[in-house]
Structure 1
């Protein structure tokens, strides 16, 4: 595993500049899309496993250094932005790697633009299950991602208090380290005593509506154009034994094994699948496998 120094890029998109973190390499390009309340440094530990692969990870519209970008938000907006990133870089195509919400965005982008994103790696996301009509969006999102929605409405006296919230989170407690702290710190905004998350609540609501009720988002992974690997965490968002997926849920999802290879990543949860050493190695292996198919 190699330590890599990231660079910061600004890519002009609708309404301003999209912040993109790049881990430069001489190998093929991969664009990585983070989860609903995440940011580009979600992929710091993964980048170290990827060796010389040229990795680009944007802060999605409404988060971290892209928090100032305007609405409309939602998965179609992220697809538009990632296409702009591809064009800005002068690339004909790239592999897309997405975690959680980023996996759903990845599937939609590949379904809409298979010539630009011919292979994908989906990490603990991408396969959705419709929620009954009339459900409250905030309640549904909070039921899935635990205390994250409450965190977005809370202010903290200083950065240490904000970090402590993550250090004590059941998903992170056993895995805290420099990559997770960097990821947490990138989300910080404001000044003491009113430190808060940079995530724009309207962006979270708009994005969360996709995986729980948007027909195109729910159908994307089943489209014949979407080809790649889906990795899923053994445990859930609070490190509980039940993960977002299991064999039964995958069977109910009726994925085509000819297009999507599925693999459980043991001893990891929804968050640490991006940080635990064995898990990041599994992601890197899937990325290299899919790059060979391009």
Structure 2
């Protein structure tokens, strides 16, 4: 395992099946500090957590680039929620963390649930951000059609190339989700996403990883089994607007209420005036996530005393 210091955080390369998992760690080096394992979305990277890290001073945030994304993009398949859960267990072993609060955004919320199901001893609580509840597929719609309907331009971006970083930044500045939410962290996130050399820079997420993972969370058995047997304290934070700032977003109040019924360990909260991206990468969304995390960490601390 190698470590490289950077401004504000360090990076680790953790050995996993097929190669190494790039991981960022924000916060104090003290291993006894409050710790969160943060799991990003389907075409994202650890860079999506920079705003949250600023909102959680004194808390250690351990955030991998999932298999097939970011600087872990060369890690081979098979992908899927269970494979990502195995990688998370290897990561916690590498940083000597026995049990941790797990935060997941979008697909990362599904990964977090499956990890909690497969390795309940490693998870103290879950924070699920605009993900984790099954996404309904209308009758007659195929899995590829459902992926296209949900991800749309996000999936199309993976097959595009860009001549330079400036062009890619302009692409993101024109994204409806960031019309009123552009910040330095979003710019750094976009810059980090590119691999290769000009004039053929490309987004780092492997198309195969996105497709296989999306199919697994939409139609696989791991997610419904994990949700059905959910026992950890869990909070769902959901956005009223979607990936392109459209209304409604991935979830409606009806969908949320349906899945909360009979699940005493899971509570939900609508975060106002955010979309699927800005709930994690905007100031107000990150502040709300931080407040929920602090509440859960304080509860754990009180119980342990």
- Shared fold by TM > 0.5? yes
Q: CA deviation at 1:255?
A: 4.2
- Whether the 8 Å contact between 1:39 and 1:59 is mirrored in structure 2 is yes
For residues 30-54 of structure 1, give each alpha carbon's deviation from its aligned partner in whole angstroms, at most 9, with x where no partner exists: 1100000000011000111111111
- The aligned residue for residue 21 of structure 2 is 18
For residues 110-154 of structure 1, give each alpha carbon's deviation from its aligned partner in whole angstroms, at most 9, with x where no partner exists: 112121112010000000135368744333222112301110111
Q: 1:56 aligns with which of 51, 62, 80?
A: 62
1:164 and 2:167 are equivalent in the alignment? no
- In structure 2, relative to structure 1, the CA distance for the partners of 1:161 and 1:121 (3 Å cut) is same
Q: CA deviation at 1:172?
A: 1.0
- The aligned residue for residue 100 of structure 1 is 106
- In structure 2, relative to structure 1, the CA distance for the partners of 1:29 and 1:278 (3 Å cut) is same
Query: Which moved further from structure 2: 221-230 or 148-157?
Result: 221-230
Q: 2:225 aligns with which of 213, 219, 228?
A: 219
- The aligned residue for residue 3 of structure 2 is none
Cα distance in structure 2, aligned partners of 1:36 and 1:172: 18
For residues 194-231 of structure 1, give each alpha carbon's deviation from its aligned partner in whole angstroms, at most 9, with x where no partner exists: 11111111101111012211122123223242321110
1:73 and 2:71 are equivalent in the alignment? no
RMSD: 1.6
Give the gaps of 5 or more residues in structure 2.
1-6, 301-305
For residues 168-217 of structure 1, give each alpha carbon's deviation from its aligned partner in whole angstroms, at most 9, with x where no partner exists: 00001211111001111111011111111111111011110122111221
Cα distance in structure 1, aligned partners of 2:180 and 2:233: 34
Query: Which moved further from structure 2: 25-34 or 164-173?
Result: 25-34
- Whether the 8 Å contact between 1:222 and 1:255 is mirrored in structure 2 is no
Cα distance in structure 1, aligned partners of 2:67 and 2:261: 29
Q: 2:180 aligns with which of 174, 178, 189?
A: 174
Cα distance in structure 2, aligned partners of 1:166 and 1:222: 37
Cα distance in structure 1, aligned partners of 2:47 and 2:40: 9
For residues 236-260 of structure 1, give each alpha carbon's deviation from its aligned partner in whole angstroms, at most 9, with x where no partner exists: 1110121111211112224445201
Q: 1:144 aligns with which of 133, 150, 158?
A: 150
- The aligned residue for residue 9 of structure 1 is 12
Task: Give me the TM-score of the superposition, normalised by structure 2.
Answer: 0.91
- Whether the 8 Å contact between 1:7 and 1:24 is mirrored in structure 2 is no
Query: Which moved further from structure 2: 216-225 or 180-189?
Result: 216-225
Cα distance in structure 2, aligned partners of 1:136 and 1:38: 24
Task: Give me the TM-score of the superposition, normalised by structure 1.
Answer: 0.94
Q: 1:280 aligns with which of 273, 277, 286?
A: 286
Cα distance in structure 1, aligned partners of 2:58 and 2:89: 23
- The aligned residue for residue 119 of structure 1 is 125
Cα distance in structure 2, aligned partners of 1:261 and 1:92: 25
Query: Which moved further from structure 2: 44-53 or 140-149?
Result: 140-149
